[in-house]
Every structure is written in structure tokens, then in C-alpha cells.
């Protein structure tokens, strides 16, 4: 088991958002987390990465045998937890490849690997840039500065490709993407699927799952997972709408 | 709670690295200021009568002046009559070679990492080091001399090159200029003098290192740089001081003269003791820096201001000759209780004169950072152009950033552009970095360096690295 979440409760600004969420993820699996706005999807993604402002008030999250909630955000990252942000921030004046080199070397150092020099690093990123059809110029611009919505998301997956995480969490990666950009991003993610990497895809829409086909789909409502199933659950949801899930959840409660 | 805060706490309590004091015998005047003190300084330096006259004229003018109050600074009253105006390490008055330098002084400069020994030729930096009031060593003099470049202490220049000093002293910053410049004109003790002959490109960076050591002393140095027609020079100054509970006064004057087709690049890394977290102690830094640019010449001021309790400083250019160019690149940081009121004046007199202003203010802790800049276009300055960019970065929510741009345009063909921005280091930016495995401290450094990039790239290579380090030290502990 790579990630074991049990009865997790999370509070944001005095408000309880997750109310006892449990989820198990094995290496090699792709899990989709779906749900209406405000159901707690992004909260789940952020608590797993240690976003400040998100406080776990109960339950556990064990990652690779360790207490995930006890680790600093950078430690989680170095241990292989990666989040593709819904809204990647801009860092003016900081070169994109310089930033990524600092990140990669921090991760490598933590894992006891030798830090890469400029030449070695360049080889790594050239190869990965091809995967995401990234223009070379994007590597030398400031981090996300002046990037279009599509470029930002592509840059996130590019970073994922370079950092090679064990657990990748994609937070609404499809939002703001046109169909061509969606295809490129999805192709990048699919190329990164591997038996020792798990991916959690957080999304509002089924559309992304046409391209990144999940092994499991979980529906979140009111801070809990109310329904889990295979990839066909996403299609059923698309068909019947989130109202159907709420009705199921309500009937059960 | 989080490690982020712990790291910050640790770093905030870090001490000023250059805060050591050198114990050595010194020749120090008792505190006090009057005409006798001015005469005594002049006598100590064995100055000619014209120099003493200049000092006395200045002193009499100063006595009738009042401290400026237009700045955006809160300053405790300064007792100008309660400080000593002269302090010199006791050593042989004339040094034939560096081997004769007082070993204590030498050790201090070694601690500061100044390449004072000639063996460090590879550094290719000629250094004049000013300790308290006097210049203690100037390196590479012989090598520079071969090309006719004069690089010496101001006192020596008064003796050895009186004609040049007489011609240019006060020609850019007149002795009546302002309260602090006038005080400096009366009591300045030493400083650096540079003359680059016609058509000579100075083969190395020239550098002066200023250090205030003695207690209760002010430092009033004076720098004069003359770049003759078609010459080029790059000059760098650095400053440090020991940690003291009381404030110390520093009031310097720098005058630059760029004759036709000359280029002067003047870079400053200012790291005077900033005071402690509560604002106790620290240097009061009141500096007047100005350059006069003649036809087709260029003056570039680059400053990285990280130290001092108070910074009051406006390196300026008088663009007198046609086609002359003035540039000002500045990074000013204020952390804890530091205050800075800094900027520039670009005075366009000649035709097709151009100026660029790039100012980056960083405020953290309770720091207050003010940009104050003036762009004046005279009525004959046809085709003059100015571009100003003032960016402020706030770290935390207890600091402040203020911008006061003044524009005075008397020629309708001029083009003046002003851009300003204020941003905050976002928690989201730091989190983004941390999520990629980069520690908080490194993330802050990275974000701040990115913000200052346009200024850092104007610094000579080796100093850009030092500036970046200094900036990260001065901002450590500022994120919370």
C-alpha cells in the first residue's frame, strides 16, 4: 500500500470540510476523485501536500509506511509526493529551468543521489520537454510568468516528468484547457503511468477521464466518499449528474 | 507550529556577521564640533590653506542650516556636538608598503574578506581601505600608475594632485548643497580619489572598503572620481561596521565627473550595521552622491542597500552634455526596524539625454521603504527620454512601501515613462516551491533574487554573487 487514508477529518478556517474520508491507493493505480463544487476534492489534494491553512483534526494518512500528516511539505515532496496545481503561481525573474534544477537536486539529495550539474540537467529536461511538446523557450522564461492557461498546466506535468514522483496528485488539471492542450497533457500523464507510481486525478468533469482512464473512480460528497467503482462510474455520473449521487448519499444517511 | 516558523525564528535571531570590533590603539578627537575641531582635522592632515578655507566656509554655512525634514523617516535627534569627528588607528603615518600596515587592522580586513594584499593580484581589484577616518592602504598603485591612473586616498590627492582636487572638489556637490553634504565638506577625514586619463580604459575594478570601528565616531568620507575624455572606469564601494547599542553617523559625499565620451560605473554594496531587532543601534547613513555627465558620456549608479538603521541617499545624475546617459539601478531592503528613503534625481539639461531608473524596494519585518525620485527635463533638453520603474516587494504585513516620484518637464519633445508595482511574497509562491522540495529559506531567496534580477545583472560579476548572499542574509527570518 502506498497511501492509506483512514477516517480523515480536515478543517479550513474553522469549517470542517472533510468529515471522515478513507481511501487506499496501491502503486501503479490511477484513482479519480470526482464530486460537485465544494465537496472537498481540492481540500483532499491540499491536505496530502501539507498546504498551510489546512488542518487535520482527526484520522490518519500513511504514505509509504510513514505518517504523512507529520511531514513538512518539502519533505513530502522529496519523499515523492507531487501535486500538479490547479492554479500554478508565477515567480517573476526566476528562470523555469533554474527553478526545476533546484527542485530536482533537492529531491535527489534527499534520496542520496548525486546532484546533477548543468549539463546533465539539460539532458534530462530536453528529453522530458519532448514528452510534453514543450517549446524550448518555455524552459528559459520565468516560472509560469506570462504562460497561457494551457502552458501552465503543461509545465506542471513537465515538472512531474522531471521529478518522477511516487504519488502524483493532479488537482483539476483539465480546468481551463482546450481540447488540444488536454490531449497533450493527458498523453504526458499516460506516458508517466508506471507500476511503481500512483496517480490521483481530482476532477469535476468526466471529460479528462476519456484520456486518462482511471482504475478506480470515487465520488465525493459532503466531505466523504459516497460511492466508489470502476471507470464506468464516471460515465454513469456524467449521465445522471451529481444530483443522483447526493440522492444516493442522502438515502443512505 | 510548522518548521517554516521555526526556521524563521532561528534565522531572525542570527547575528550581524560583521559586528566584531577591532581593539587597537587609536588617535581619536574628544567629542565636539567647532571651528577649532575643523582646524585640527585639517592640521592632522597637514592640509594646504585652500583646503582649510573650504572646510571653514562649509562649517560656517552648516551652522546656519537646519536638518531636512521632508523625508519619510523617523529619526531620533542626533547630537552633532556629541560625536568625535576624527579617529585614526595609531600607526606609522606613511606606509611605504602594505607590510607596514598595523597587523590588527590587517586582520580586520582579512575577516571582511578584502583582498588587501598584493598577492591577491588574481582578484584584479584594486582596493583602497578606509578604517574609521583614514585610508590605510591602497593596493595596485604601481600597476595603475603605469597607465596614468591615479587611485589614492583623498588626503594624498590633496597633497599630490592639488590642481585636480581644487578644480573638481565641490563642482558637482557644492559645499552649500544640503545639511549633510555641507557638514561633510567641513569635517571629511578621508576617502578615495580617482583620476582616469584621456582615452584610458581602467584595467581593473577599483574598490574602496569603508569600515567604522571606533566608538562614538562619525565617518565622513569624501570620494571624487574624474574620468577624463573617452576614458572608462568601474568603481565599487563596500561598507561594514561593528555592532553598537548607540546610533553612529555616516555622512559621505561622492562626486563623479564624466567628461566627454567617458563612462563611469559606480556600484555600492552597503552593509552598515542595521541595528538589532528592536531598532537599537545601527548606522545613520546620510549620503550625497551625484555625477555630472558631459557630451556623449555615461554614468551608471548601481546600489544594493541592505544595512543601516536609516538610509537617506539619492545618487543622481546631471545630464549636462548632449546625448549623455544616466542610469540608476537600486535594490534597497529594510528588515526589522530599518528605514530607507532612497532614490535618484535625473536632471536632463542637454539634448537627447537619456535616463533609466530601476528601483526595487524590499520591506520585511517592521521595515519602511520609500522610493523618492525626481526626473527634471530642462527647457533645452530636446528629445530627452526617461524610463522609470519602481517595484516594491512586501514580506509580511507589518512593513511598508512608499513611492514618491516627482516629474518636472519643461520641454514638450521629452518622453517620460513611469511604471510602478507593489507585490507581496505570497504564501502560495512559497508553498509552490516547498511542494517541489525546495526549503522555505531557499524559496524566499529565490523569489527575492528573481525580483532583483534586473539590478543584480548590472553589478560586476563577483560582486553580484556577494550582493545576492548579503541580501539573503539580511532577509533571513523575514517570512512568517
pLDDT above 90: percentage of residues in chain A: 64
C-alpha cell at B98: 602594505
Q: Give the C-alpha separation, B7 to B13, whole Å.
A: 10
Residue B354: the pLDDT is: 97
Quick check: B424 contacting A, CB < 8 Å?
no
pTM of this prediction?
0.80
The pLDDT profile of chain B, 480 residues, written as one tens digit per residue, is 344 444 433 433 445 666 655 655 567 777 888 899 899 989 988 999 999 999 999 999 999 999 888 888 888 888 888 888 887 665 544 454 555 666 666 666 666 555 554 434 434 456 666 655 555 556 677 778 889 999 888 988 999 999 999 999 999 999 999 999 999 999 998 888 999 999 999 988 887 776 665 555 667 889 999 999 999 999 988 766 556 566 778 889 999 999 999 999 999 888 777 777 877 778 888 999 999 999 999 999 998 888 888 888 999 999 999 999 999 999 888 888 888 899 999 999 999 999 999 999 888 888 888 899 999 999 999 999 999 999 998 887 888 888 899 999 999 999 999 988 888 887 889 999 999 999 988 898 888 888 888 888 887 776 777 777 777 777 766 654
Cβ atoms of A8 and A22 within 8 Å: the answer is yes
Instruction: Judge: A89–B437 Cβ closer than 8 Å, yes or no.
Output: no
B2 contacts in A (CB within 8 Å)?
52, 72
Instruction: Judge: A73–B431 Cβ closer than 8 Å, yes or no.
Output: yes
Residue B201: the pLDDT is: 94
What is the DSSP track for B70-93?
-SS---PPP-TTSSBS-EEE-S-S
SS3 assignment, position A153: helix
Residues near A176 by beta carbon (within 8 Å), at least 6 away in sequence: A149, A150, A153
A83: nearest CB among B428, B429, B435: B435
Q: What pLDDT digit, counting tens, does each position of A148-183 carry?
A: 888 899 999 999 999 999 999 999 988 888 888 899
The gap from C-alpha A146 to its chain's centroid, in whole angstroms, comes to 23
Q: Kindly report the nearest CA distance between residue A103 and chain B, in angstroms.
A: 5
A103 contacts in B (CB within 8 Å)?
433, 436-438
pLDDT bin (cut points 50, 70, 90) of residue A29 is very high
A76 contacts in B (CB within 8 Å)?
435
The Cβ of residue B273 has, within 10 Å, a number of other Cβ atoms equal to: 23
pLDDT above 70: percentage of residues in chain A: 98
B343 DSSP 8-state letter: E
Burial classification of residue A37, based on how many CB atoms lie within 10 Å of its CB (0-12 exposed, 13-18 middle, 19 or more buried): exposed
- Structural domains of chain A, ranges and CATH numbers in brackets: 3-252 (3.40.50.300)
Find, in chain B, the residue whose alpha carbon is nearest to that of A89: B429
Cβ atoms of B359 and B373 within 8 Å: the answer is yes
What residues 442-471 of chain B have any CB closer than 8 A to a CB of chain A? 442, 446-447, 449-454
Q: Give the C-alpha separation, B23 to B282, whole Å.
A: 19
Cβ atoms of B132 and B212 within 8 Å: the answer is yes
User: Which of B152, B269, B165 has its CA nearest to residue B210?
Assistant: B269
Residue B345: the pLDDT is: 95
A242, pLDDT greater than 80:
no
Residue B101: the pLDDT is: 62
Cβ atoms of A156 and B432 within 8 Å: the answer is no
Q: Give the C-alpha separation, A241 to A252, whole Å.
A: 18
Residue B6: the pLDDT is: 42
Q: What is the CA radius of gyration of chain A?
A: 18
Residue B94: the pLDDT is: 47
Instruction: Judge: B436–A106 Cβ closer than 8 Å, yes or no.
Output: yes
Instruction: Judge: A91–B431 Cβ closer than 8 Å, yes or no.
Output: no
Domain ranges of chain B: 3-475
A77: nearest CB among B3, B4, B437: B437
State mean pLDDT over A108-126.
90
Place of cell 553612529: B248
Instruction: Judge: A99–B427 Cβ closer than 8 Å, yes or no.
Output: no
A156 contacts in B (CB within 8 Å)?
none
ipTM of predicted assembly, 2 dp: 0.95
Find, in chain B, the residue whose alpha carbon is nearest to that of A69: B2
Q: Which is higher by pLDDT, B119 or A207?
A: A207
The gap from C-alpha B189 to its chain's centroid, in whole angstroms, comes to 17
The gap from C-alpha B417 to its chain's centroid, in whole angstroms, comes to 26
Residue B214: the pLDDT is: 57
B438 contacts in A (CB within 8 Å)?
74, 102-103, 106
Residue B467: the pLDDT is: 76
Cβ atoms of B47 and B189 within 8 Å: the answer is no
User: Which of B189, B7, B211, B17 has its CA nearest to residue B109?
Assistant: B211
Interface test with B, best of A52, A56, A159 (most B CBs within 10 A): A52
Residue B3: the pLDDT is: 42
Amino acid at each position: 500500500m502506498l497511501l492509506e487514508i483512514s477516517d480523515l477529518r480536515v478543517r479550513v478556517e474553522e469549517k470542517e470540510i472533510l468529515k471522515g474520508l478513507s481511501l487506499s491507493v496501491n502503486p501503479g493505480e490511477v484513482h479519480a476523485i470526482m464530486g460537485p463544487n465544494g465537496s472537498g476534492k481540492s481540500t483532499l489534494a491540499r491536505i496530502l501536500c501539507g498546504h498551510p491553512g489546512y488542518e487535520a483534526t482527526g484520522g490518519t494518512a500513511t504514505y509509504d509506511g510513514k505518517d504523512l500528516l507529520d511531514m513538512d511539505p518539502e519533505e513530502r515532496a522529496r519523499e515523492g509526493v507531487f501535486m500538479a496545481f490547479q492554479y500554478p503561481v508565477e515567480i517573476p525573474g526566476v528562470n523555469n529551468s533554474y527553478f526545476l534544477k533546484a527542485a530536482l537536486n533537492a529531491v535527489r539529495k534527499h534520496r542520496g543521489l548525486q546532484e546533477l550539474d548543468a549539463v546533465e540537467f539539460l539532458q534530462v529536461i530536453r528529453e522530458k520537454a519532448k514528452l510534453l511538446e514543450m517549446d524550448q523557450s518555455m524552459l528559459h522564461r520565468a516560472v509560469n510568468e506570462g504562460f497561457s492557461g494551457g502552458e501552465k498546466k503543461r509545465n506542471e506535468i513537465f515538472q512531474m516528468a522531471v521529478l518522477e514522483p511516487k504519488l502524483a496528485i493532479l488537482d483539476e488539471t483539465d480546468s481551463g484547457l482546450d481540447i488540444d492542450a488536454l490531449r497533450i497533457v493527458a498523453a504526458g500523464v499516460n506516458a508517466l503511468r508506471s507500476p511503481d507510481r500512483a496517480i490521483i486525478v481530482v476532477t469535476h468533469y468526466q471529460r479528462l477521464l476519456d484520456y486518462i482512464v482511471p482504475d478506480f473512480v470515487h465520488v465525493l460528497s459532503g466531505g466523504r466518499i459516497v460511492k466508489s467503482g470502476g471507470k464506468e462510474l464516471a460515465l454513469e455520473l456524467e449521465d445522471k449528474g451529481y444530483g443522483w449521487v447526493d440522492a444516493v448519499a442522502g438515502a443512505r444517511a | 507550529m510548522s518548521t517554516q516558523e521555526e526556521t524563521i525564528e532561528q534565522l531572525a535571531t542570527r547575528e550581524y556577521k560583521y559586528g566584531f570590533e577591532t581593539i587597537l590603539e587609536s588617535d581619536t578627537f574628544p567629542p565636539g564640533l567647532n571651528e577649532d575641531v575643523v582646524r585640527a582635522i585639517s592640521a592632522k592632515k597637514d592640509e594646504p590653506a585652500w583646503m582649510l578655507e573650504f572646510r571653514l566656509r562649509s562649517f560656517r554655512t552648516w551652522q546656519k542650516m537646519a536638518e531636512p525634514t521632508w523625508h519619510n523617516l523617523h529619526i531620533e535627534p542626533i547630537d552633532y556636538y556629541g560625536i568625535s569627528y576624527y579617529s585614526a588607528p595609531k600607526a606609522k603615518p606613511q606606509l611605504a608598503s602594505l607590510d607596514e600596515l598595523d597587523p590588527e587592522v590587517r586582520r580586520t580586513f582579512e575577516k571582511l574578506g578584502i583582498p588587501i594584499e598584493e598577492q591577491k593580484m588574481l582578484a584584479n581589484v584594486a582596493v583602497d581601505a578606509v578604517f574609521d577616518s583614514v585610508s590605510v592602504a591602497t593596493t595596485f598603485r604601481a600597476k595603475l600608475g603605469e597607465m596614468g591612473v591615479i587611485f589614492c586616498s583623498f588626503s594624498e590627492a590633496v597633497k599630490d594632485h592639488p590642481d585636480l582636487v581644487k578644480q573638481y572638489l565641490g563642482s558637482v556637490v557644492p559645499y552649500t548643497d544640503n545639511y549633510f553634504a555641507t557638514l561633510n565638506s567641513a569635517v571629511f577625514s578621508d576617502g578615495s580619489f580617482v583620476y582616469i586619463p584621456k582615452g584610458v580604459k581602467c584595467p581593473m575594478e577599483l574598490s574602496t572598503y569603508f569600515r567604522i570601528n571606533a566608538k562614538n565616531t562619525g565617518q565622513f568620507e569624501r570620494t571624487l572620481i574624474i574620468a577624463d575624455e573617452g576614458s572608462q572606469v568601474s568603481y565599487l564601494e563596500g561598507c561594514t561596521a561593528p555592532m553598537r547599542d548607540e546610533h553612529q553617523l555616516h555622512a559621505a559625499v561622492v562626486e563623479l565627473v564624466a567628461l566627454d565620451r567617458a563612462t563611469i560605473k559606480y556600484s555600492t554594496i552597503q552593509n552598515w550595521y542595521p541595528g538589532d531587532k528592536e531598532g537599537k543601534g545601527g548606522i545613520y547613513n546620510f549620503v550625497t552622491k551625484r555625477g555630472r555627465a558631459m557630451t556623449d558620456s555615461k554614468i551608471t549608479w548601481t546600489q544594493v542597500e541592505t544595512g543601516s538603521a536609516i538610509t537617506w541617499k539619492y545618487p543622481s545624475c546631471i545630464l549636462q552634455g548632449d546625448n549623455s546617459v544616466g542610469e540608476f539601478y537600486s535594490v534597497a531592503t529594510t528588515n526589522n526596524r530599518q528605514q530607507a528613503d532612497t532614490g535618484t534625481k535625473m536632471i536632463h539639461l542637454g539634448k537627447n539625454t537619456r535616463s533609466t531608473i530601476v528601483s526595487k524596494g524590499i520591506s520585511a519585518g517592521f521595515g519602511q521603504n520609500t522610493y523618492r525620485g525626481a526626473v527634471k527635463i530642462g527647457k533645452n533638453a530636446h528629445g530627452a527620454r526617461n524610463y522609470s520603474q519602481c517595484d516594491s516587494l512586501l514580506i509580511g504585513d507589518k512593513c511598508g512601501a512608499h513611492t514618491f516620484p516627482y516629474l518636472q518637464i519643461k520641454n514638450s519633445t521629452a518622453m517620460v515613462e513611469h511604471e510602478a508595482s507593489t507585490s507581496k511574497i505570497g504564501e502560495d509562491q512559497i508553498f509552490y516551491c516547498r511542494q517541489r522540495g525546495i526549503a522555505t529559506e531557499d524559496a524566499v531567496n529565490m523569489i527575492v533574487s528573481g525580483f532583483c534580477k534586473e539590478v543584480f545583472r548590472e553589478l560586476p560579476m563577483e560582486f553580484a554573487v556577494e550582493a545576492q548572499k548579503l541580501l539573503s542574509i539580511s532577509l533571513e527570518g523575514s517570512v512568517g
